[in-house]
Amino acid sequence: MYAFLWLVASALLFAHLRASTSAVPAIITDCAKGEPVTRNEVYARPLKHSSWSVPPKAETAFNWTYDEGRERLLALYQKGKDKQWDAAKRIDWDLEVDPGDALGMPEGMDPITETPQWRRMSAAERAELSRHNASWTFSQFLHGEQAAMICAARIVEVAPDLDSKYYSATQVMDEARHVEIYSKFLYDKIEMMYPIKDSLQSLLHDVLSDARWDMPYLGMQVLIEGMALAAFGLLRDATTKPLPKQILTYVMQDEARHVAFGRMALRDYYRQLSEAEIRDREEFVVEGCYLMRDRIRGTEVLTNFGFSRAEAEEFENSSELYQAFQQLLFSRIVPCVKDIGLWGVRLQQAYVDMGVFEMGDSNLDLLMKQDEQLAEQLDAQRFAAEECARISEVDATIAAGAGTAD
């Protein structure tokens, strides 16, 4: 993940987070496909277990009133229905991807270019390192999306309000689509996958094993997806390759609705809680944020290429650019946490220590609106050319027919 983290951070710091959806250049290097790999062989590191189970503790909630519910959530539910799409049709899977240059970042921006290990690498080995970085990053995206799908299904089960159940049902479909997309990209285009990080799995266990019905919202919708959404946006704005740009842009269009849902539901509920209950949830947020900042890192990628774990960790800890990137990853979490009413002294101090406190004043609504607009703009750019070609073909056919009639 290091190369991606540095490359993206550098691109964003020097290009000021450009967010253009203009046409991107065609891929120059074609991917040399080998023999098809099996689902087990595709993993860069052995899987400890092929499946994982978390015993549920939350109560299943039925609601027999079938009342209309909150207008805002019902409007979001309608939007969730209207915005469903087919990943097989909306994304151009015919686009070629060079696994050794999946995002199109300049090689000179890689942070380990001055290390002895890098200087000893051949061009092919450097491309393979880039492939591992892409695989690690998108693998964590994939695992997170499966977790989001399961958490959304859990919300359908445990939320007491019918309007929340309605919307969560649409989110389950969204997250299933995202799992489909990321797994296809990894298997078909990069042909490599990494297991889920132990630290991410530990956080998921805490979220899914908690009996309180709001914890899947707080742990997944706010923390895990908030961090993932920021990472999606950083890569979306920095990549010069059309396929990952399409994937990230369209996934983020869905996620904008999901974050809005979590904010609405939790903001309403947390107004009813006691001070002690609020402080308890703030403690969970503090611990979760420190865990994500300190432990969800791709150290296993560099250890595959000659670095010791201690060297990899020291490299991250001493890197100002990497620290800046990590701060950007909290750009979606901090304003959301503040918006839903979790803003106690200890939580504020934790964000001061992380250097992200000022992000609490970010306009989250504007960010989400931009996510949706970028997807619409990308559609307009991609499909306008197809429509022009279709119209020209129709016109030519009409003209040819007219000439025959004469």
Write out pLDDT tens, residues 158-177: 999 999 999 999 999 999 99
Work out the number of other CB atoms within 10 angstroms of the CB of residue 350: 20
Considering Cα of 357, then 323, then 225, then 236, what sign does the dihedral take?
Answer: positive
**Looking at the predicted structure, is the pLDDT value of residue 366 above 80?**
yes
Query: For residue 361, what is the DSSP state?
Result: G
Query: For residue 95, what is the DSSP state?
Result: S
**Looking at the predicted structure, is the pLDDT value of residue 12 above 70?**
no
Domain locations in the chain as residue ranges: 2-20+38-48+55-405
Tracing tokens 């004469």 back to the chain, one arrives at 406
Could you report the per-residue pLDDT of 177-231, keeping only the tens digit for each?
Answer: 999 999 999 999 999 999 999 888 999 999 999 999 999 999 998 999 899 999 9
**Residue 107 or residue 131, greater confidence:** 131
How far is the CA of 275 from the CAs of 36, 39, 280, 281, 343, in angstroms?
57, 48, 9, 10, 11
Q: Is-contact 279 88, C-beta < 8 A?
A: no
Could you report the per-residue pLDDT of 54-99, keeping only the tens digit for each?
Answer: 877 788 898 888 887 888 889 999 999 999 999 999 999 999 999 9
Closest CA to 189 of 125, 98, 126, 127: 98
- Strand-pairing partners, residue 193, are 43
**Looking at the predicted structure, is the pLDDT value of residue 387 above 90?**
no
- Strand-pairing partners, residue 43, are 193
Burial of 117: CB neighbours in 10 Å, binned 0-12, 13-18, 19+? middle
Q: Output the average pLDDT for the chain.
A: 84
Query: For residue 59, what is the DSSP state?
Result: P
**Looking at the predicted structure, is the pLDDT value of residue 113 above 80?**
no
250: CB partners within 8 A, 6+ apart = 85, 90, 91, 181, 375, 378
Tokens of 113: 């270019």
Per-residue confidence (pLDDT) for residue 3, from 0 to 100: 42
Q: What DSSP string runs through 32-47?
A: ---SPPPTTTTBSS--
**Looking at the predicted structure, is the pLDDT value of residue 315 above 80?**
no
Note the pTM of the prediction, 2 decimals: 0.83
Q: Is 396 helix (H, G, I), strand (E, B) or coil?
A: helix
288: CB partners within 8 A, 6+ apart = 203, 206, 219, 223
**Looking at the predicted structure, is the pLDDT value of residue 390 above 60?**
yes
Tokens of 340: 């839903």
Could you report the per-residue pLDDT of 266-288, keeping only the tens digit for each?
Answer: 999 999 999 999 999 999 999 99
The structural architecture, per CATH, of the domain 2-20+38-48+55-405 is Orthogonal Bundle (1.10)
Q: Is-contact 198 48, C-beta < 8 A?
A: no
* 32 vs 99: CA distance, rounded Å: 9
Q: Is-contact 239 245, C-beta < 8 A?
A: yes
